[in-house]
Amino acid sequence: MLSIVRGGPRGMLLRGDREGLDRALESAFQVARHTFESALDSAGEGQTIVALHGREDDGNREYRVVASPSDDVLAALANDPARAMESVRLLPRILFFRVFGESDQIVAQMENDLSNGGIQGATVRRGRLRSLLGSQRKNDIAVCFTRSPLNGPVTMADLLDDVLLVTGVFFHDLYSFLRARALWFFSEGLDNRSWNEMEIRVYDSWGSYMDHAERFRTVLDGLEIGMILGEGWGKDYAHILLPVRVYRFRLFTFLSAEQVKGLLVGLEYSADGERLADFDLYRGKEKVSWGDLKDREKGGRGALGAASRERLFSRLRENDRKRLVELEERALSRREGR
């Protein structure tokens, strides 16, 4: 599927007995010790980044990622019998919004809509990503923009520099507003302001159709590049009166046909170059050929398949890469058993 907007972690700065704060946190929650950069990179939605100060502000901070929301963290510390916490400062709330194509147009349109009555009482100003870290405005909500999928951790390196800082609204109201208009804002960045519907036909003379279907879904979910409108069995005709079994997907995506074809070619080959299946792509009645790819490699389809597979795997997270390899090995083992 496709996630376009989601919440980020909450940050807070705690001052007090540092060792006592650590004990209080670790007794109540799952806590991981981090550097500043790794805390920002690893914290997920609903988690809390805690910066610990000693009673004397010597400029040193220690960072923890707590696997619980900030209100639970504050409640636990307020009820701590040792009273290790002396003061707390909350950092702005964060929302992540995924962009594609012309990101400047998306940011500008969102800023304009919020500034002109999109949400009553909202005020908006642009900022830079680094300005969030020292912000004293706890009521700000920072809308951060990224080109990366939102189904996993979003690192600092994944974020664009431009940030929209929104005040005068509740977090829930802004989140609801962006979710309701997510596709509309997202589509502002597309070259022709439209999505593309395509058909993918999977062929495998060895019959491992479900393995290849699962491989395609793994890529679709891992990269979050569109939505499946329908799937199922069908027939194609390699020659007159010779039907061939095929598994079909109807894909709705913001990518071009050439970009989708590049991903599919990467799915056609195993790590050792063996042909696993055919993934044919149709844009309407027009078949998109591997020869149409602008970045096709010299040496023919095999070389293109190897290069496309390498590019595809470099974009996926480790668990998705492992899943693809498992499915490939299962499909190949069925061939050996015949």
Counting as low any pLDDT under 50, the low residues of the chain are none
pTM of the model: 0.85
Residues in the chain, total: 338
Q: Can you give the pLDDT at residue 289?
A: 83
Q: Can you give the pLDDT at residue 166?
A: 92
- For the chain, the structural domain boundaries read 5-90, 93-187, 196-336
Q: Can you give the pLDDT at residue 238?
A: 63
